[in-house]
């Protein structure tokens, strides 16, 4: 059940992506989203999930947090003053 | 084995097709936004773009990938390098490159450059640049030393005044 909900989510994501990019033509939107959903959700759902997660990582801005967080774990320790 | 390879090739073929479609969508979107008020231009350029994507797909996909990596993700790449990777390198004891560090010359190089400068011969651009950078670094160091001396003297003076004042108060009020 969860798997089917996940598939629905990524299918909607692909449809929305196509609508955002070729939304000026409804026919093109249907055709391209059909192709994308057929291959990325029905044929290769793992590839579709991977691309969905990667796109979320790239576009959500979570990568901007890495340079703030990493120095806390890998930075220099301040020298203790005597 | 052969069956597996067949499946792999089919997968790669489909993946290639998907990448072509996605690239085509990005380009169509960009063309539509660019030639919003010129349908003829949009039609012509979209035909040309489609030709390039579906006939010269590999090179076009490569170019689009390069564009994405260096022009759209460039700031993130730079920030990850400077604030994420360099601190880790420093922690591991590897000195990251600093393009603003003045380049120091070797002894013989410096001597020959100074000789040239004294004789009035022409120096190469690199030599004069290095000499100039060294001079700047020395001046900076000198001014830093002067500033430190000044601050030290001021601090001493203030301490002296403080102790004088304390002594005076002690003498007055006991």
Q: pLDDT tens for residues B46-79?
A: 999 999 888 988 888 788 778 888 888 888 888 8
CA-to-CA dists, residue A35 to A15, A40, B117, angstroms: 10, 8, 71
Select from B89, B135, B86, B88 the least CA-distant residue to B110: B135
Q: What is the pTM of this model?
A: 0.54
Provide the b/e sequence for A13-29 (b: ≥16 CB within 10 Å). bbbebbeebbeeeeeeb
CA distance B81 to B71: 16
Q: How confident is the model at residue A21, as a pLDDT?
A: 92
Q: What is the pLDDT of chain A when averaged over all its residues?
A: 89
> Is the pLDDT assigned to residue B44 strictly greater than 90?
yes
CA distance A9 to A53: 12
Q: Do B18 and A32 touch (CB under 8 A)?
A: no
Residues in A closer than 8 angstroms to B32, CB to CB, are 22, 24
Please tell me whether the interface predicted TM-score (ipTM) of this complex is above 0.90.
no
B28 contacts A21 by C-beta, under 8 angstroms: yes
Distance (Å) from the C-alpha of residue B136 to the closest C-alpha of chain A? 30
Rounded to an integer, the average pLDDT of B75-101 is 83
Residues in A closer than 8 angstroms to B18, CB to CB, are 35-36, 39-40
Residues in B closer than 8 angstroms to A33, CB to CB, are none
Q: Do A18 and B25 touch (CB under 8 A)?
A: yes
Q: How confident is the model at residue A46, as a pLDDT?
A: 94
Which percentage of chain B shows pLDDT scores above 90? 25
> Is the pLDDT assigned to residue B144 strictly greater than 70?
yes
Q: pLDDT tens for residues A47-80?
A: 999 999 999 988 888 888 888 887 788 776 666 7
Determine how many CB atoms are found less than 10 A away from the CB of residue B80: 17
Scanning every residue of chain A, which has its alpha carbon at the shortest distance from the alpha carbon of B11? A44
Q: What is the pLDDT of chain B when averaged over all its residues?
A: 85
Q: Do B90 and A18 touch (CB under 8 A)?
A: no
């Amino acid at each position: 059940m969860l798997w089917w909900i996940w598939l629905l989510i990524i299918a909607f994501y692909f449809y929305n992506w196509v609508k955002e990019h070729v939304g000026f033509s409804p026919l093109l939107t249907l055709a391209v989203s059909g192709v994308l959903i057929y291959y990325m959700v029905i044929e290769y759902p793992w590839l579709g999930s991977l691309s969905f997660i990667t796109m979320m990582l790239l576009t959500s801005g979570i990568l901007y947090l890495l340079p703030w967080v990493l120095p806390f774990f890998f930075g220099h320790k301040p020298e203790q003053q005597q | 084995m052969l069956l597996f390879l067949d499946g792999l090739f089919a997968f790669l073929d489909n993946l290639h097709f998907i990448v072509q479609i996605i690239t085509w969508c990005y380009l169509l979107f960009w063309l539509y936004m660019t030639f919003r008020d010129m349908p003829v231009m949009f039609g012509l350029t979209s035909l040309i773009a489609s030709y390039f994507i579906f006939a010269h797909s590999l090179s076009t996909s490569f170019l689009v990938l390069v564009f994405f990596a260096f022009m759209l993700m460039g700031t993130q790449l730079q920030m990850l390098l400077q604030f994420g990777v360099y601190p880790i390198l420093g922690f591991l004891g590897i000195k990251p490159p600093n393009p603003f560090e003045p380049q120091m010359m070797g002894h013989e190089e410096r001597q020959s450059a100074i000789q040239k400068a004294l004789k009035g011969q022409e120096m190469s651009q690199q030599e004069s640049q290095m000499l100039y950078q060294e001079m700047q670094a020395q001046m900076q160091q000198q001014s830093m030393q002067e500033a430190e001396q000044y601050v030290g003297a001021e601090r001493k003076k203030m301490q002296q005044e403080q102790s004088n004042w304390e002594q005076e108060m002690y003498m007055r009020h006991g």
